[in-house]
């Protein structure tokens, strides 16, 4: 089976390599019509013989009136319908991907790679290639597989399966042997008891993965199972006890009926049953009246109950108890297993949890300037102990605090309280300064002084705030001072201090603010 998966993988890799080839030509339908009608394509007319490297994508209803030969890639999308009354051959280098409705009135010859995810209807299929069929292939005549590989879990409706060696030739599949895996074969004609008519030479049929009208060729009910549960209202889905490789289409019956088994769903309910052993038979029907059975024994063991109580703080969570990690209040139970019965006792813990919500906190901030006083307050909670933490190791146990806020201690302040040995959730305050010092902002270097209301002026206060006095001067490239401003005066808008509009160009500014200064250049554009 691993070999088949590798073949499928390399086929997909080959397919995507064709589509995305640098020299590929892609034709995609834009409407319904005949294959040879150029108006239904987005990129000219594709050839009836799809060349290697080319890709044809059909997302509409398209009919073909001529024979076709696929050496490149043909993709039928989920909304696509392809109908041809002539022969269609997929060569050894050709790829077909069908996600829609693929209909041919002539034999479908597949010597390359064919991915079917939806429906294919044809009189017959002749293949020496690789078919990944996860949909349904419906044939009125035979399925002729020589040196082919068929896989992927779909359904083939045919009344005659013809498998034989390929005269030792090796094509797309890498094998001269016809191989059939993971398909459901079904014949709708009651006159044909079996589609396995012509099987000659070297061929491989996976008896565990191939079924006939959903009946496995080799039914497998699995091995006998012994399990146990505890006395009480327990429901067990018997199907869930089966291993993954067992046929899931069988039925359950109870050896000594108690009315506790639903044969439709396979669910066994132990409610009202006393301790003891209950036996069930799992039967899988196979092809040609074959069958297989396995036995499931379920032992119901008595249980003992114990209850305890615990009150905890939310900060104590999780509570580790008898192998459980508890994060929620309520009733928690655990079965303490013994080596003998598996149901010595069921212990229950009624857990109560005290949750203390985060306190309500407030501040008088933000402050305007570095060094301004700020107040932080936590709500008054009787008998509570308060805790503050902040930048630079700040700590306080007072509900009300006042201090100077500067650039080194601004940031996040956290507060919580403890009460009756429990700790509350954490509340946070962001304390900040609205106006920054001169080295904490980026000054603009371009203005467009054209009175359009956008970037017409430089408002110094927008950058340094209103905390200290400043002096802002501008000089032209010859060093002549053309503008000067102090706090409260008119902002620079491209006009000199004598009222003249300054020409476009580069100017140099100097800003003094507090004990610091900043210099740079400004471009004036109109």
- Among 119-133, 210-224, 434-448, top mean pLDDT goes to 119-133
pLDDT tens per residue, range 86-139: 999 999 999 999 999 999 999 999 999 999 999 999 999 999 999 999 999 999
Mean pLDDT is lowest, of 305-319, 443-457, 484-498, for 305-319
Predicted local distance difference test score (pLDDT) of residue 403:
95
Is the pLDDT score of 57 beyond 60? yes
Mean pLDDT is lowest, of 14-28, 276-290, 449-463, 509-523, for 14-28
Domain 225-301 top-level CATH class: mainly beta
Token output for 103 = 């209909």
C-alpha of 350 from chain center: 38
Position 199 confidence tier, pLDDT thresholds 50, 70, 90: low
pLDDT tens per residue, range 379-389: 989 999 999 99
Helices and strands, counts by H and E, the chain: 2, 52
pLDDT tens per residue, range 333-347: 876 766 667 676 778
Predicted local distance difference test score (pLDDT) of residue 119:
97
Q: Is 461 helix (H, G, I), strand (E, B) or coil?
A: helix
Predicted local distance difference test score (pLDDT) of residue 191:
61
pLDDT tens per residue, range 152-184: 999 998 888 888 755 544 445 555 678 999 998
Is the pLDDT score of 315 beyond 90? no
Predicted local distance difference test score (pLDDT) of residue 438:
59
Q: Scan for tokens 């305050």, then name that residue.
A: 429
Predicted local distance difference test score (pLDDT) of residue 146:
82
DSSP 433-444: BSS--GGGS---
Q: What is the 3-state secondary structure (H, E, C) of 163-196?
A: EECCCCCCCCCCCCCEEECCCEEECCCCCCCCCC
Predicted local distance difference test score (pLDDT) of residue 24:
82
Pinpoint the residues of the chain covered by CATH 2.60.40.10: 225-301, 361-431
Q: Cα(224)–Cα(226) distance, rounded to whole angstroms? A: 7
Could you name the CATH architecture of 361-431? Answer: Sandwich (2.60)
Contact 308, 321 (CB under 8 A): no
pLDDT over 90, % of the chain? 52
pTM for the whole thing?
0.46
Mean pLDDT of the chain: 86
Domain 446-524 top-level CATH class: mainly beta
Contact 426, 358 (CB under 8 A): yes
């Amino acid at each position: 089976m691993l070999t088949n998966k590798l073949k499928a993988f390399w086929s997909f890799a080959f397919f995507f390599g064709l589509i995305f080839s640098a020299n590929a030509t892609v034709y995609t339908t834009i409407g319904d019509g005949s294959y040879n009608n150029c108006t239904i394509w987005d990129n000219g007319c594709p050839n009836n013989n799809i060349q290697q490297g080319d890709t044809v994508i059909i997302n509409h209803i398209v009919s073909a009136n001529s024979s076709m030969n696929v050496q490149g890639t043909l993709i039928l999308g989920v909304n696509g319908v392809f109908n041809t009354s002539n022969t269609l051959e997929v060569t050894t280098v050709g790829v077909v991907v069908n996600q829609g409705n693929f209909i041919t009135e002539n034999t479908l010859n597949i010597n390359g790679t064919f991915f079917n995810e939806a429906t294919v209807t044809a009189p017959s299929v002749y293949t020496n290639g690789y078919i990944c069929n996860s949909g349904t292939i419906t044939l009125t005549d035979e399925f002729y597989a020589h040196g082919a590989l068929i896989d992927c879990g779909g359904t083939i409706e045919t009344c005659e399966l013809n498998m034989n060696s390929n005269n030792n030739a090796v094509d797309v599949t890498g094998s001269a042997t016809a191989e059939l895996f993971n398909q459901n074969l079904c014949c709708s004609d009651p006159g044909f008891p079996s589609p396995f008519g012509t099987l000659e030479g070297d061929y491989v049929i996976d008896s565990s993965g191939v079924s006939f009208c959903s009946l496995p060729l080799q039914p497998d009910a699995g091995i006998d199972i012994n399990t146990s549960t505890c006395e009480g209202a327990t429901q067990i889905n018997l199907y869930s006890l089966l291993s993954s490789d067992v046929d899931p289409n069988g039925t359950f019956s109870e050896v000594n009926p108690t009315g506790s088994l639903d044969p439709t769903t396979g669910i066994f309910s132990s409610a009202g049953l006393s301790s003891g052993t209950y036996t069930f038979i799992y039967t899988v029907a196979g092809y040609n009246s074959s069958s297989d059975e396995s036995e499931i024994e379920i032992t119901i063991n008595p249980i003992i109950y114990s209850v305890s109580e615990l009150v905890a703080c939310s900060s104590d969570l999780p509570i580790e108890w008898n192998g459980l990690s508890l994060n929620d209040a309520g009733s928690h139970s655990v079965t303490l297993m013994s080596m003998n019965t598996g149901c010595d006792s069921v212990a229950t813990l009624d857990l109560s949890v005290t949750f203390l919500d985060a306190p309500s906190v407030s501040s008088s901030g933000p402050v305007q300037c570095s060094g301004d006083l700020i107040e932080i307050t936590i709500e008054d909670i009787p008998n509570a102990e308060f805790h503050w933490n902040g930048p630079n190791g700040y700590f306080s146990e007072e509900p009300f605090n006042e201090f100077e806020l500067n650039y080194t201690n601004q940031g996040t302040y956290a507060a919580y309280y403890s009460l009756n040995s429990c700790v509350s959730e954490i509340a946070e305050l962001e304390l900040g300064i609205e106006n920054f010092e001169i080295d904490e902002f980026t000054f603009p270097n371009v203005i467009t002084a054209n009175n359009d209301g956008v970037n017409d002026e430089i408002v110094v206060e927008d950058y340094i705030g209103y905390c200290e006095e400043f002096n802002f001067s501008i000089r032209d490239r010859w060093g002549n001072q053309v503008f000067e401003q102090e706090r409260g005066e008119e902002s620079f808008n491209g006009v000199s201090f004598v009222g003249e509009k300054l020409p476009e160009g580069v100017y140099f500014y100097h800003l003094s603010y507090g004990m610091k200064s900043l210099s740079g250049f400004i471009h004036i554009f109109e």
